[in-house]
Each structure stands twice: as C-alpha cells, then as structure tokens.
Amino acid sequence: MSQQTPNAADPGLRADCGKCFGLCCVALPFARSADFAADKAAGAPCGNLRQDFRCGIHERLRDSGYNGCTVFDCFGAGQKVSQVTFGGRSWREEPGSARTMYEVFPVMRHLHELLRYTAEALDLPAARPVHRDLRRAYDRIDALTRDTAESLLAVDVTALHGEVNTLLLRAGELARASVPGRRKDHRGADLMGKRMRNAKLRGARMRGACLIAADLSGADLREADLIGADLRDANLCGADLTGALFLTQPQLDAARGDRATRIPAALQRPGHWAV
C-alpha cells in the first residue's frame, strides 16, 4: 500500500510544466476553431513551443486564440511521464522514444484524473463506507502510474474507469444524502444555454451534464456532484459552489465567474474571471 496520504490538492496531481517536456503541446492534436488558432496533428510540436519546452505565448494565450490551452490540465501526468516513466530523457534527446511517450501521455492523464477524483472521495467523511475500497483503488492506480511504458500501454483504461466510477458514484451519493430536501437529478442532461439563474441545485446530481453557456448566476450548487459536467462558458457569477463534489480546476477555468462566486478552498479563482 502507498505510504502517502491521498490528497486531491497534492501538487503531484497538478500540472508542473517546468518538469514536463511539453507533452500536451506535442502529443495531442487540435483543430482550428474558437479554442485554437491553428490546426495541429498529434505528435507534431505546436508552433509556439520553445526549445526549453515552455510556451512562447503563455501570458497571452487567450488573446492569441488559444483558449483551449488555458482550460487544459494534465493533472500531473506530464511531469510523471517525463520524469518517472522516461527518467528525465526528452523526446528531443531520444527521438526514438517519442512515439511511445506520446502514446503513454493520454493513458497517464486518465490515470492521474482518476487519482484526483479518488483522493477527493477519500476526503469525504460521509463516504467512509467505501473508503477501504477507494484506498485500494487509489493504491492500485498509483502503482500503475509508476510502471513501465509498456505496462501503461497495456492498461485497459475503459475497464478501470468503470470500476472506479462505481466507487465514485457511491461516494457522491453518500455525500449528497445529508443535504436536506429534494435533490434534483440532472445527470447527463443537455442544459446547453439554459437559463438557471438563482437555481436551487444544492446536492443535485449534475454528473456529465452539458452546461455549455448555461446561466447559473446566483445558483446554489453546494454539494452538487459535478463530475464530468461541461461548464464551458457557463455563467457562474455569484454562484455558490462551496463543497461541490468532484469539481476540477479545468472546469472552473472554462467557465465565467466573478469575485462573488464561491468556490471550494482547494481550487483557485481563474485569473480571467471578472473582478
């Protein structure tokens, strides 16, 4: 069993670009759109990637048409692949490893995302009935992230996600059970652009809901389960997300908010939000 205490705020579960070989800027493809100013094929370095693996336009990504980059988080997978899986040897130093490195990166990102969710579930007192199973899952995934590239590529990510998701679902249900009153169920709902200003969504099930450009200003989202919810361009001005379950930094970064928006203590207020 891993000796470390799982913590969703663990720096190892957050991107550290200074220890990564710019993997998200090389391994992943993107298409010219509202999120990206140009097309890029998988395995091709972004034109803005510098020799030191830093982004040449990092401070002006939004102004340069690269909004998609500002809302991406590898959950620490980039530095794990760069420094652990490949021992600090970059794809520039060893071109022969490049293809494998690019293939391992998305697998590692998925595993790190599961670690992040599992760590948060372990921090929920109400989810104690499933803590033992969650800890076993965490230790199993953590061990996988430290394995060889070949072993990582052999991981059945879909099956593993299904196993862990069952535990996360149970943890979320236990945490939401203490919320008084009727709890709304919007799991997987298409709420794109919907007007939900001041909506009473405390303890609601919002898993996988499409909330793109939805007006959630002033909404009560305390203890709402937001795992996988698409919050791109959603209006969270004045909303209360205190204790929101499984809310991640990328979700907040993709939304719009202001200084009146209340967010979980473990997350950071996005710099582009209104002041």
Task: Give per-10-residue mean pLDDT for the chain (275 aa).
Answer: 71 93 96 93 95 94 92 95 97 96 98 97 96 97 97 97 96 94 94 97 97 98 97 97 96 96 94 86
Supply the CATH number for residue 228's domain: 2.160.20.80
Which of 49, 161, 36, 163 has the alpha carbon at shortest distance from 106?
161
pLDDT in tens, 227-268: 999 999 999 999 999 999 999 999 999 999 999 999 999 899
Do both 56 and 190 map to the same domain? no
CB–CB of 69/17 below 8 Å?
no
End residue of a domain, out of 175, 209, 237: 175
Residue-level pLDDT at 1: 46
pLDDT in tens, 212-237: 999 999 999 999 999 999 999 999 99
End residue of a domain, out of 160, 175, 190: 175
CA distances from 275 to 80, 237, 255, 265, 271 (A): 35, 10, 14, 18, 9
Residue-level pLDDT at 274: 83
Do both 158 and 196 map to the same domain? no
Residue 139: strand, helix, or coil: helix
Residue-level pLDDT at 93: 95
Q: Residue 4: inside a domain, yes or no?
A: no
End residue of a domain, out of 113, 144, 175: 175
Q: Kindly state the DSSP code that residue 185 receives in the 8-state scheme.
A: B
Residue-level pLDDT at 161: 96
Do both 237 and 139 map to the same domain? no
Report field, pTM of the whole predicted structure over 0.85:
yes
Structure tokens at 20: 């990564």
Question: Could you identify the residue written with the tokens 């997978």?
Answer: 77
Q: How far apart are CA 216 and CA 248, in angstroms?
A: 17
Q: How far is CA 260 from the centre of its chain?
A: 23
Structure tokens at 67: 């909004």
Tell me the residue range of the domain where 263 lies.
Answer: 182-267
Do both 84 and 155 map to the same domain? yes
Do both 127 and 204 map to the same domain? no
Looking at the 3D structure of the chain, how many domains does it have? 2
Q: Residue 101: inside a domain, yes or no?
A: yes
Do both 34 and 160 map to the same domain? yes
Residue 215: strand, helix, or coil: strand
CB–CB of 22/91 below 8 Å?
no
